[in-house]
């Protein structure tokens, strides 16, 4: 394997990598290396196995076959493959949303779940024309849940939340024929048309792909965010810590990993149960320590301040600390490799989703109807496992960082607007005057192809230095938190003068943690609010803003990229989409698509260069809006560039 320092810029990860190497434990980085060289046809997107006349592959050098047995060209094959990635990614977010909607329905009928944010429930009910006057919370929750569930099977019309977008952006979608009708419908449409002998025009395949992606961003993901806020409360800014050092030497460590907060929320409650804490003490532990990995960690961080043990590439390392009694997983981004790994430790891998079993996992089916009892059962099992911990093998890096999280479309303005002026006006004014150059959403995964966290940190620091406010979610947010970027002090260290002034005046960090990846829907709402506030154009694509996913790897990230682009966002990827063997499709997504939607994709693996693509884009948008340049111009290549470059 590469040296530990080449694998990651995170000191805790480097320390644990060395530890794992000394124990002869193979990790995701080793498997990545063993997989080299990876298939070139697959990377370029020109391999098809959609029927058994194939598999077929197109020779990218033009010497061999230029069409599949059915006659499909590179552009058709790559478009179909990409479309299927979008379908899967959108389905993941949306099926998660379905579970939340079902849980809200249970809350209405009386269960362990209760509506914690009644105000948000009522606001959403009014938005959806559901009667609220003189009705009980349960009745309203029932109707909202049913209406949300209706969005999945809706056959005609437009998804409800698309009405949140500026009118002109909605019209762009209607004119382009990509306005999503129903969530499930768009996924089926996309799968159907990619069947052998189906849609054989890469442009119309992409059109359907965009519709499915919009059904994620303005459908599934937004439903998940909104209903989770209603059920578990809208986040409020809070402090916590992150990195493997949050694991406790003397307590029962339970780590949740995956995505759906319907489970992790109940575990938060169960780990606070007095009887269970007493039980933990009876087996010699000082208490029960809950922490998380990946997006489910972000969910309970945002609402309860539960510490985050790490991001995607740290899931195996967490187990190699030897200090985890149970890793409780649901679905998405859980490496099947965990099965083999837990065999070497006392750690129990507990799978809980009806949709996902894992090798070597003990399955405890999580029924929303008996949620708290099941959560308690999981906690009890974890406690009973504490005496099996081999203390001589425990190795927890003494590294963790403080952070502030809990930003939402509702509370960002109480920060940026000041407590007494609840509007987006001050945010818009900050951009209009150029104190803020613009905003960028930096999001996404980790990928062993890239030095862990270096893409996130490199691009984010460079944006900050150039007075770009950064919004973040998912594994990027955890990377930023580990590096101290989610603290107000980070503004002094990394931000340009204008952004510093804003951060100082309102006491915010220069990077705002908006939650899990489904919560990128919060960014869509914020952008819509910015347009509604006025002065920054009439379409989402007018805003001096952009997006980046420096270390993305998942199909969910593809879906997000597409709804971002279709929502007018210039989106810079650190890793190309698997389409480079398809010249026309590549041209379409990197250029032509902008004319219709105002957004397009760019690929740049160097984080500093990527940041400057975004900054240039923001400046172009400022010019288009006839705004002045940034208030304080930053000379190119400030101090962080060299630092990050050296690290890369
Ligand atoms: Fe998964 Fe959501 Fe990616 Fe992290 S960022 S690796 S998708 S956990 Ni969403
Ligand atoms: Fe080959 Fe066409 Fe079948 Fe794909 S659909 S495997 S390109 S014959």
Judged by DSSP in three states, 238 sits in: strand
Helices (H), 194-348: 202-215, 221-232, 261-271, 274-282, 294-304, 315-320, 338-342
Cα 231 to ligand 2 centroid, rounded to whole Å:
46
- CB-ligand 1 contact for 294 (6 Å cutoff): yes
Rg (CA), the chain: 24
Q: Which residue has a Cα nearest atom 2 of ligand 1?
A: 295
Ligand nearest to the CA of 199: 2
From the CA of 333, give the closest atom in ligand 1: 1
End-to-end C-alpha distance for the chain, whole angstroms = 17
Cα 53 to ligand 2 centroid, rounded to whole Å:
6
How far apart CA 48 and CA 81 sit, in angstroms, is 8
Ligand nearest to the CA of 78: 2
pLDDT in the model for residue 408: 96
Ligand nearest to the CA of 81: 2
Element holding 378 (H helix, E strand):
helix 371-385
Backbone angles phi, psi at 11, to 5 degrees: -60, -35
User: What is the pTM assigned to this prediction?
Assistant: 0.96
- CB-ligand 1 contact for 333 (6 Å cutoff): yes
- CB-ligand 1 contact for 78 (6 Å cutoff): no
Report the relative pairing of strands 252-257 and 288-293 from DSSP bridges. Answer: parallel
Q: Over 606-644, what HEC string results?
A: CHHHHHHHHHHHHHHHHHHCCCCCCCCCCCCCCHHHHHH
Q: Over 276-304, what HEC string results?
A: HHHHHHHCCCCCEEEEEEHHHHHHHHHHH
Q: Which residue has a Cα nearest atom 2 of ligand 2?
A: 70
Ligand nearest to the CA of 315: 1
C-beta neighbour count of 629 within 10 angstroms = 11
How far apart CA 119 and CA 226 sit, in angstroms, is 12
* Nearest alpha carbon to residue 325 among 254, 223, 373, 375: 254
Ligand nearest to the CA of 48: 2
pLDDT in the model for residue 639: 44
- CB-ligand 1 contact for 520 (6 Å cutoff): no
Cα 517 to ligand 1 centroid, rounded to whole Å:
7
Element holding 253 (H helix, E strand):
strand 252-257
* Nearest alpha carbon to residue 245 among 136, 395, 385, 58: 395
pLDDT in the model for residue 2: 78
Element holding 94 (H helix, E strand):
helix 74-109
- Output the DSSP codes for 505-574: HHT--SEEE--SGGGHHHHHHHHHHHHHHSSS-SSGGGSSEEEEETT--SHHHHHHHHHHHHTT-EEEES
Please choose from 255, 301, 445 the residue to mutate so as to test ligand 1's pocket, defined by most ligand atoms within 8 A of CB: 445
Please choose from 46, 49, 50 the residue to mutate so as to test ligand 2's pocket, defined by most ligand atoms within 8 A of CB: 50
Contact 530, 427 (CB under 8 A): yes
Query: 404: which strand partners?
Result: 239
Contact 499, 468 (CB under 8 A): yes
* Nearest alpha carbon to residue 442 among 609, 296, 573: 573
**Eight-class DSSP state of 220:** I
Query: 327: which strand partners?
Result: 255, 349
* Nearest alpha carbon to residue 578 among 196, 39, 187: 39
Cα 180 to ligand 2 centroid, rounded to whole Å:
28
Judged by DSSP in three states, 439 sits in: strand
Q: Which residue has a Cα nearest atom 5 of ligand 1?
A: 445
Write down how long the chain is: 648
Backbone angles phi, psi at 530, to 5 degrees: -65, -45
Cα 300 to ligand 1 centroid, rounded to whole Å:
15
Residues of the chain whose pLDDT is less than 50? Answer: 638-648
- CB-ligand 1 contact for 312 (6 Å cutoff): yes
Dump pLDDT digits (tens) for 365-405: 999 999 999 999 999 999 999 999 999 999 999 999 999 99
Residues with CB under 6 A from ligand 2: 48-51, 53-56, 68-70, 72, 77, 196
From the CA of 517, give the closest atom in ligand 1: 9
- Output the DSSP codes for 104-130: HHHHHHSSS---S-HHHHHHHHHHTT-
C-beta neighbour count of 37 within 10 angstroms = 6
pLDDT in the model for residue 412: 83
Query: 310: which strand partners?
Result: 293
Q: Which residue has a Cα nearest atom 6 of ligand 2?
A: 54
Ligand nearest to the CA of 80: 2
Contact 378, 351 (CB under 8 A): no
Cα 51 to ligand 2 centroid, rounded to whole Å:
5
Report the relative pairing of strands 238-242 and 401-405 from DSSP bridges. Answer: antiparallel
How far apart CA 63 and CA 482 sit, in angstroms, is 49
């Amino acid at each position: 394997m590469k040296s530990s320092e080449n694998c990651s810029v995170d000191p805790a990860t480097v320390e644990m990598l060395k530890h794992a190497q000394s124990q002869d434990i193979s990790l995701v980085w080793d498997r990545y290396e063993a997989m080299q060289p990876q298939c070139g046809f697959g990377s370029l997107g020109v391999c098809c196995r959609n029927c058994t006349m194939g598999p077929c592959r197109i020779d990218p050098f033009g010497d061999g076959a230029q069409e599949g047995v059915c006659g499909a060209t590179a552009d058709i094959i790559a478009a179909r493959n990409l479309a299927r990635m979008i379908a899967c990614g959108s389905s993941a977010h949306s099926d998660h949303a379905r579970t939340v909607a079902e849980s809200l329905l249970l809350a209405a009928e009386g269960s362990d779940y209760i509506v914690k944010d009644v105000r948000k429930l009522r606001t959403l009910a009014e938005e959806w024309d559901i009667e609220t006057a003189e009705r009980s919370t349960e009745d309203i929750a029932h109707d909202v849940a049913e209406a949300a569930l209706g969005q999945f099977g809706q056959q005609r019309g437009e998804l409800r939340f698309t009405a949140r977008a500026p009118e002109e952006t909605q019209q762009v979608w209607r004119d382009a024929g990509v306005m999503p009708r129903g969530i499930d419908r768009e996924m089926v449409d996309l799968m159907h048309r990619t069947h052998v002998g189906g849609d054989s025009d890469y442009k119309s395949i992409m059109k359907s792909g965009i519709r499915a992606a919009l059904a994620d961003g303005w459908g599934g993901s937004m439903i998940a965010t909104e209903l989770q806020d209603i059920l578990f409360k809208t986040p409020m800014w809070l402090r916590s810590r992150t990195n493997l050092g949050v694991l406790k030497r003397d307590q029962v460590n339970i780590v949740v990993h995956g995505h759906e907060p319907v489970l992790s929320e109940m575990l938060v409650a169960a780990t606070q149960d007095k009887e269970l804490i007493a039980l933990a003490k009876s087996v010699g532990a000082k208490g029960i320590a809950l922490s998380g990995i990946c997006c489910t960690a972000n969910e309970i961080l945002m609402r309860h301040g539960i510490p985050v043990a790490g991001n995607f590439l740290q899931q195996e390392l967490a187990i190699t600390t030897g200090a985890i009694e149970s890793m409780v997983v649901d679905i998405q981004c859980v490496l099947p490799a965990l099965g083999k790994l837990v065999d070497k430790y006392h750690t129990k891998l507990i799978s809980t989703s009806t949709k996902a079993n894992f090798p070597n996992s003990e399955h405890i089916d999580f029924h929303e109807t008996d949620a708290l009892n099941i959560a308690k059962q999981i906690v009890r099992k974890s406690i009973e496992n504490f005496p099996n911990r081999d203390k001589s093998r425990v190795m927890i890096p003494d590294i963790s960082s403080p952070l502030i999280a809990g930003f939402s479309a509702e509370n960002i303005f109480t920060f940026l607007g000041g407590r007494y002026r609840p509007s987006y006006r001050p945010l818009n004014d900050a951009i209009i005057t150029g104190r803020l150059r613009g905003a960028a959403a930096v999001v996404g995964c980790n990928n062993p192809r890239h030095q862990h966290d270096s893409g996130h940190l490199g691009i984010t620091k460079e944006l900050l230095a150039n007075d770009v406010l950064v919004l973040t979610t998912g594994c990027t947010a955890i990377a930023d938190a580990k590096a101290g970027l989610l603290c107000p002090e980070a503004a002094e260290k990394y931000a340009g003068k204008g952004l510093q002034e804003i951060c100082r005046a309102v006491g915010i960090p220069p990077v705002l943690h908006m939650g899990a990846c489904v919560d990128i829907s919060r960014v869509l709402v914020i952008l819509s609010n910015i347009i509604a506030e006025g002065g920054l154009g009439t379409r989402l694509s007018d805003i001096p803003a952009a997006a980046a996913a420096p270390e993305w790897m998942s199909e969910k990230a593809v879906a997000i990229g597409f709804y971002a682009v279709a929502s007018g966002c210039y989106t810079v990827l650190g890793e190309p989409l698997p389409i480079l063997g398809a010249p026309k499709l590549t041209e379409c997504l990197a250029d032509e698509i902008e004319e219709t939607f105002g957004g397009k994709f760019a690929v740049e693996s160097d984080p500093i260069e990527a940041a400057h693509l975004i900054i240039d884009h923001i400046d172009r948008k400022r010019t288009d809006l006839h705004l002045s340049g940034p208030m304080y111009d930053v000379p190119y290549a400030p101090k962080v560039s060299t630092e990050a470059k050296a690290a890369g």
